[in-house]
């Protein structure tokens, strides 16, 4: 059977789609391009209105959709309000469409294969690790969120908090090592909330992972960790570590305490800046990135200016900038003083300009430093592209025989077209 997998949304969704693909191939399916597929599995996203529109547009443009088996997976189809919208009812209420919500996502590959191969009786095996296309492998150790920021629909559709058993994580590291991976990116919907049976919490599992990884020659990168989980113990782990990458992605969202409170973010701008300053003090090469939202209800010019100032003080290597999007059945959707589209666009443009400047400043300050690069692309004429521990893209030339996944030491000698030039 030929199955095409299409993914919308976040890195976690992409990881889960790769896992579904790997499991389906092990069952005997062929993962193909769309033109050759008899079935299509679509991993959906609903983080913004734009995400919803992309899915509807994708489905409406599929040729011969009634002749293919369609599997809709994940966040979008987990929203309870789906059936309230007439156009979506007509689109999904078809015999050839199967809905797989988030609470069935771990079984998605089995559901898909069983629907297409009626007599399949093999026992389903959920792998603790699977080989991935990229040089830096992702490992999901947590899922679900119970914080409920006032604007977020994802926590409401992803379900309750779940943490992976520590032994499975350690076993996954060994398997990753056997596959030749030298960087593992720990990921989860709310990674810092990791808490296995109230016995091993986030700081402890990271310490344990660092200990296991150091014996295997693997470096560890944290994906995204909320500010509320950054205490002095966690910050200390970044100090001169050869295993934990000197990069932290810490969602900010707003630099205004008024807006943070309306968002139900549970920290202040002062808390956030204190974390950033402590991280830079712990490791002088530390790189910090962030998510920032503009145009949240009631955000006035003063609130935005406070956000801009905090971003500038934080000296981010990168910002992911989002324009606020109303999501049904979230508290923020009912708030007064919604911000207009043009205002959101203007504020996002200002932050984008700051983002480019701060990235350039960080990259240029890295010149003459020695960087540890994981090789991700092998180019012609002995050129390579990879990612440093600080999350900088680096292009370098070497006469040595270097393979993807290798970690090599490179000296930064220049900065061109948004990338470090190394030698």
Question: Which single residue is written with the structure tokens 């900088």?
Answer: 392
**Range with the poorest average pLDDT among 60-69, 198-207, 318-327, 356-365:** 60-69
Indicate the pLDDT class of residue 94, thresholds 50, 70 and 90.
confident
| Amino acid 90: pLDDT | 53
**Range with the poorest average pLDDT among 32-46, 117-131, 152-166, 268-282:** 117-131
| Amino acid 109: pLDDT | 93
Most confident of the ranges 54-63, 131-140, 243-252: 243-252
CATH 2.150.10.10 fits 137-365, yes or no: no
**Fold category of 2-116 in CATH:** Rossmann fold (3.40.50)
Question: Which single residue is written with the structure tokens 């990338």?
Answer: 419
Strand partners, 6: 42
Quote the CA–CA distance of 77 and 85 in Å, as a whole number: 12
59 Cβ neighbours under 8 A, 6+ residues apart:
42, 65, 70, 91
Mean pLDDT of 107-128: 79
Indicate the pLDDT class of residue 123, thresholds 50, 70 and 90.
low
Asked if residue 89 has pLDDT above 70, the reply is no
Alpha helices by DSSP H, 283-396: 301-314, 341-365
* Distinct helix (H) and strand (E) counts, the chain: 13, 19
């Amino acid at each position: 059977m030929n199955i095409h997998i299409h993914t919308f949304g976040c890195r976690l969704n992409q990881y889960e789609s790769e896992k579904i693909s790997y499991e389906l191939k092990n069952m005997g399916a062929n993962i193909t391009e769309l033109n050759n597929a008899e079935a299509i599995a679509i991993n959906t996203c609903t983080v913004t209105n734009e995400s919803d529109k992309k899915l509807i547009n994708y489905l409406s443009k599929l040729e011969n959709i009634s002749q293919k088996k369609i599997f809709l997976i994940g966040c979008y189809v987990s929203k309870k309000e789906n059936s309230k919208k007439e156009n979506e009812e007509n689109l999904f209420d078809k015999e050839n469409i199967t809905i797989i919500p988030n609470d069935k996502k771990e079984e998605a590959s089995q559901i898909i294969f069983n629907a297409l191969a009626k007599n399949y009786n093999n026992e389903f095996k959920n792998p603790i690790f699977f080989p991935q296309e990229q040089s830096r492998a992702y490992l999901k150790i947590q899922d679900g969120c119970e914080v409920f920021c006032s604007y977020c629909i994802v926590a409401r559709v992803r379900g309750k908090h779940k943490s992976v058993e520590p032994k499975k994580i350690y076993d996954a590291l060994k398997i990753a090592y056997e596959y030749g991976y030298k960087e593992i990116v720990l990921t989860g919907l709310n990674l810092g909330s990791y808490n296995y049976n109230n016995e091993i919490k986030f700081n402890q599992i990271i310490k344990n992972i660092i200990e296991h990884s150091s014996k295997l020659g693997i470096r560890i990168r944290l994906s995204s960790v909320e500010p509320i989980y950054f205490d002095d113990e966690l910050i200390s782990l970044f100090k001169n570590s050869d295993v934990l990458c000197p990069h932290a992605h810490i969602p900010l969202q707003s630099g205004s305490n008024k807006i943070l409170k309306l968002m139900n973010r549970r920290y202040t701008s002062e808390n956030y800046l204190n974390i950033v300053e402590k991280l830079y003090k712990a490791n002088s090469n530390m790189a910090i990135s962030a998510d920032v939202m503009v145009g949240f209800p009631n955000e006035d010019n003063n609130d935005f200016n406070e956000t801009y100032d905090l971003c500038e003080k934080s000296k981010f290597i990168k910002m992911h900038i989002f324009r606020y999007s109303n999501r049904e059945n979230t508290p923020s959707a009912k708030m007064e003083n919604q911000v207009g589209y043009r205002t959101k666009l203007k504020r996002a443009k200002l932050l984008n300009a700051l983002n480019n400047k701060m990235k350039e400043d960080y990259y240029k300050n890295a010149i003459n430093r020695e960087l540890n690069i994981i090789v991700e692309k092998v180019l012609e004429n002995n050129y390579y592209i990879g990612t440093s521990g600080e999350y900088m893209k680096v292009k370098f030339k070497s006469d040595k025989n270097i393979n993807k996944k290798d970690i090599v030491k490179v000296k930064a000698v220049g900065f061109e077209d948004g990338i470090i030039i190394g030698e």
